[in-house]
């Protein structure tokens, strides 16, 4: 058999090898960039969906109690050491009775600051039962923002979950304004929540005839996005 001649043998030169490696690197970099962009977009959409869901559920919980309430009061019910303002809704029995006895009492809403068992940034609902006109022991803070989905929290890298935004100086524009001062007096143009306090804004008012009304607004965040929620409250019983 004839032997192959030296000129017939072919191989890969160093330049060709470097070009191939460079091209492969560019391709891998493009694929990684595409994956990263897709992951970021997914985190953004997951974050916004979680905030929208939790904020809406929290607001619905408060407005549902307001519709059942016979009275509304401001800045009277938060535990000692709480820095935020508070909202109290009194749910009394109706005639004829329509609510279970275990749901009759006062519902206090305030921002937790780490004291009294309320996690910092929690949107607390604190229930105090009232039986035959006698108030029982106040319950613990039930965090209306505590229903975070662990999967979403892991994807966005926020171990703390969803919390109320904490005000800074200068004020964050995402935080709502208090339309009245702590004494209930209207403030023209609104009043920024104090620095270091979580963003829960309350405003009190009344309709002709003296029936009390109010507004509640809060800003929440998961560390990736932030949203503000607002509702008007009017007891109907």
Residue 114 CA: distances (Å) to CA of 7, 82, 102, 199, 231: 82, 9, 28, 15, 26
The β-bridge partners of 135 are: 130
Q: CB neighbours (10 Å) of residue 71? A: 14
Helix or strand or coil: residue 157?
coil
Token duo for residue 18: 């470097």
Q: What is the pLDDT of residue 156?
A: 46
Is 147 a residue whose pLDDT tops 80? no
Nearest partner of 182 among 113, 82, 114, 98, judged by Cα:
82
pLDDT in tens, 183-222: 778 888 888 999 999 999 988 877 666 678 888 999 999 8
DSSP state letter for 115? S
Token duo for residue 7: 């000129």
Q: Are 126 and 138 in contact (CB under 8 A)?
A: yes
What is the band of 1 on the pLDDT scale with cuts at 50, 70, 90?
Answer: low
Give the pTM: 0.78
Average pLDDT score over residue span 55-66: 93
């Amino acid at each position: 058999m004839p032997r192959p001649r030296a000129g017939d043998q072919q191989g890969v030169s160093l330049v060709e090898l470097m070009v191939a490696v460079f091209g492969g690197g560019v391709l891998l970099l493009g694929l990684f960039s595409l994956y990263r962009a897709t992951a970021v977009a997914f985190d953004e959409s997951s974050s916004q969906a979680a905030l929208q869901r939790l904020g809406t559920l929290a607001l619905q919980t408060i407005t549902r109690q307001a519709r059942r309430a016979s009275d509304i009061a401001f800045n009277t019910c938060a535990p000692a050491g709480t820095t935020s303002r508070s909202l109290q809704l009194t749910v009394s029995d109706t005639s004829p009775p329509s609510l279970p006895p275990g749901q009759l009492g006062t519902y206090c809403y305030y921002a937790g600051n780490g004291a009294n068992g309320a996690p910092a940034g929690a949107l607390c609902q604190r229930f105090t039962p009232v039986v035959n006109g006698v108030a029982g022991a106040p319950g613990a803070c039930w965090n209306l923002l505590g229903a975070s989905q662990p999967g979403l929290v892991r994807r966005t890298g926020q171990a703390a979950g969803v919390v109320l935004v904490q005000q800074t100086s200068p004020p964050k524009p995402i935080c709502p304004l208090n339309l009245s001062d702590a004494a209930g007096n209207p403030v023209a143009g609104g009043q920024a929540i104090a620095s270091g306090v979580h963003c829960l804004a309350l405003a009190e008012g009344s309709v002709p005839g003296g029936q009390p009304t109010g507004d509640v607004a809060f800003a929440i965040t998961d560390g990736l996005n932030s949203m503000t929620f607002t509702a008007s409250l009017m007891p109907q019983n």
